[in-house]
Amino acid sequence: MIYHSTRDTGLQVSSAQAIVKGIAPDGGLFVPGEKPKISIEDIAGLVDKSYREKAKGILELFLSDFTKEEISDCVEKAYNKTKFETDSIAPLYELNDTAYILELWHGPTCAFKDMALQILPHLMTTSMKKIGIDKQVAILVATSGDTGKAALEGFKDVDGTKIQVFFPTGGVSEMQKKQMVTQEGNNVAVTSVNGNFDDAQSGVKAIFGDKEFGAALEQRGSLLSSANSINWGRLVPQIIYYVSAYCDLVKADKIKAGDAVNVCVPTGNFGNILAAWYAKEMGIPIRKFICASNENNVLTDFIRTGVYDKNRAFKATISPSMDILISSNLERLLFDITGGDEGRVREWMQELQQTGRYEVPQVTKNKLKEYFYGGFCDDEGTKQTIAEVWKEYNYLMDTHTAVGYRVYRQYVEETGDTTKTIVASTANPFKFCSSVLEAVQGKPQEGTDEFEVGKILSELTGQKIPAGLAQLKEKEERFSEVCDKDAMKQIVDKFLG
Ligand SMILES: *Cc1c(COP(=O)(O)O)cnc(C)c1O
């Protein structure tokens, strides 16, 4: 199967090349040239298989230039008992008759980024071998929190890779910082950059844009690459858990194979919900995609009006992983719902870059509305939802998941649709324990650090703090280097030797 750019279908590569390149040379995103299909019988045949077996089956369809052995090897290394705390990998929790919570946070960093970042390093090194590049992959990441840690855990001690993460000195939570500076592994480095997230990110972009530096590193045996969510190698593993969740509903006798379901996804960069879209395109009967945003509700407006407009104030919320004004992966959906109109996509993306805004025509608006429902919720609503769900169901949600569940309920109220719905849960509640504790006890906890807050939340709710977070406080800090933005290149240079 070939992959091509969303902005030029003539720009074609194999899946291995798409994964190694990350982004198409024209600035577009790689998408599969055709969508592999699975039938209702195929789905029924997957129901009793393990998550790993399902993963292999789906990846084989999309990564057709990989051998079965290569895919099996990548899957076994990623989705196993040493990496995930449950062998079902992404379990489905029945909250009530209609809402099923798809828990995507049983991996090493307690957030859904693990679902893709545990396997990406293996897909990447395998891809390099396949296309005959005999170099080590050097991953550079600028992070505002979750991605950095998940990438570090994914690439840690993977042969043929090195990873350098930059985080903004004042721009991450205490817990997130601790997670990163205590990172283990012999191929990792973490540096804090004076400034905000934009400084760290523009620093990394400048390094990627420095052709001379890149060429010099290649001479020395390193190929710079990124692990961000527009890479096809991050998107394709996310399709698996939607297939798996659907199968789990069939297995539990909640639906029959072939029945339609809805999905609801707390959304930022549009990667997670887009994976659900691809699952539908493959043949999983998904009727409605409920796209939940926090107060950075660019996507809600887009789905409702057809106008994408990022010209608005950025809001820092208690669901920070969704604080995003440009949802990059939306470009892939636009390509699909315009019937593959590369020219249109190119124009819109140009407008977005130049003016921060574009508007799609009526026919595209209709298509969007046919499949998508957009809604948002503010911090108050998020906390209220955590408290209500805890009270009613004894189930503890993190802030991002609560945004999703709130919008799901808005949707049901508006439409009366009682189709069974898979609600993606994207983080363990203890990862955002200050906000979760405030929601559950109705007032903020003053004067304690995040670790103490975690303990209080655990005592109050009887829920266990995940081991990865509980052990953190005692862990040795390995990285204390702080640098200015201008020095980032030197740091990479030194790290790569
Ligand atoms: C990254 C992230 C999201 C947003 O996912 P996208 O794929 O970017 O839409 C939501 N919740 C959490 C906890 C995340 O880490």
pLDDT digit string (tens) for 66-123?
Answer: 999 999 999 999 999 999 999 999 999 999 999 999 999 999 999 999 999 999 999 9
Cα 402 to ligand 1 centroid, rounded to whole Å: 13
Ligand 1 site, residue 337, Cβ cutoff 6 A: no
Neighbours of 416 (CB within 10 A): 7
For every residue of 327-356, DSSP letters joined together read -TTHHHHHHHHTTS-HHHHHHHHHHHHHHS
Per the CB < 8 A criterion, the answer to whether 195 and 485 are in contact is: yes
CA angle 25, 28, 29 (to 5 degrees): 105
CB 478 within 8 A of CB 488: no
Residue among 154, 120, 138 at smallest CA distance from 19: 120
Which residue's CA is the nearest one to ligand 1's atom 2? 321
317 lines ligand 1 (CB under 6 A): no
Over the stretch 293-338, which tens digit does the pLDDT of each residue have?
999 999 999 999 999 999 999 898 999 999 988 899 999 999 999 9
| pLDDT (0 to 100) of residue 201 | 85
Q: How much distance in Å is there from the Cα of 113 to the middle of ligand 1?
A: 7
Confidence of residue 176 (pLDDT cuts 50, 70, 90): confident
- pLDDT tens for residues 226-251? 898 899 999 999 999 999 999 999 99
Give the residue carrying structure tokens 């324990």. Answer: 433
Structure tokens given for 190: 């973490």
**Spatial contact of 35 and 280, defined as CB atoms under 8 Å apart:** no
Average pLDDT estimate for 197-219: 90
- From 290, 400, 401, 405, the mutation candidate for ligand 1 (largest count of ligand atoms within 8 A of CB) is 400
The pLDDT-based confidence of 174 (bands split at 50, 70, 90) is confident
Q: Using 50, 70 and 90 to split pLDDT, how confident is the model at 186?
A: very high
Q: What is the DSSP letter of 477?
A: P
Neighbouring residues of 241: CB distance < 8 A, sequence distance ≥ 6: 89, 90, 102, 104, 115, 275
Ligand 1 pocket check: which of 321, 330, 425 to mutate, most ligand atoms within 8 Å of Cβ?
321
CA 143/CA 431 separation, integer angstroms? 16
Q: Which long-range contacts (CB under 8 A, 24 or more apart) does 70-75 make?
A: 70/126, 70/130, 73/122, 73/126, 74/119, 74/122, 74/123, 74/126, 75/119
Indicate which residue's Cα is closest to atom 8 of ligand 1: 269
Cβ contact 243:40 at 8 Å: no
User: How much is the average pLDDT of 401-422?
Assistant: 98
Q: Is the CB of 434 under 6 A from ligand 1?
A: no
Confidence of residue 358 (pLDDT cuts 50, 70, 90): very high
Ligand 1 neighbour 426 (Cβ under 6 A): yes
**Predicted structure pTM score:** 0.96
**Interval between CA 322 and ligand 1 midpoint (Å):** 6
| Cα 426 to ligand 1 centroid, rounded to whole Å | 7
Is the C-beta atom of 146 inside 6 A of ligand 1?
yes
Write down the mean pLDDT value for the chain: 95
The residue nearest atom 14 of ligand 1, judged by CA position, is 321
Amino acid occupying residue 182: T
Structure tokens at 215: 């060429």
pLDDT of residue 236: 98
pLDDT at 447: 80
- Which residue is listed with tokens 């994408």? 308
User: For position 267, what pLDDT does the model report?
Assistant: 97
pLDDT beyond 80 at 145: no
Identify the pLDDT of residue 129: 95
Residue showing tokens 């990285």: 479
Given a cut of 90, whether residue 473 has pLDDT beyond it is no
3-state secondary structure of 469: helix
39 vs 257, 258, 261, 295, 431, CA distance in Å? Answer: 10, 9, 16, 39, 38
Q: Locate 474 and state its tokens.
A: 């005692």
In order of their start, the domains of the chain are 92-111+233-431 (3.40.50.1100)
Strand extents, DSSP E, 160-221: 161-168, 188-193
Residues 182 and 475 sit within 8 Å (Cβ to Cβ)? yes
pLDDT category at 190 given cuts 50, 70, 90 is very high
Q: Is the CB of 336 under 6 A from ligand 1?
A: no
d(CA 396, CA 386): 7
Query: Among candidates 489, 491, 22, which has minimal Cα distance to 213?
Result: 489
pLDDT (0 to 100) of residue 453? 93
pLDDT in tens, 4-46: 999 999 999 999 999 998 989 899 999 999 999 999 999 999 9
Q: How far is the CA of 233 from the centre of ligand 1 (A)?
A: 16
User: Is residue 492's pLDDT more than 90?
Assistant: yes
Contact 403, 266 (CB under 8 A): yes
C-beta separation of 469 from 173 below 8 A: no
Q: Which of these, 116, 52, 49, 47, lies nearest to 81 by C-alpha position?
A: 52
Q: How many whole angstroms separate alpha carbon 260 and alpha carbon 495?
A: 51
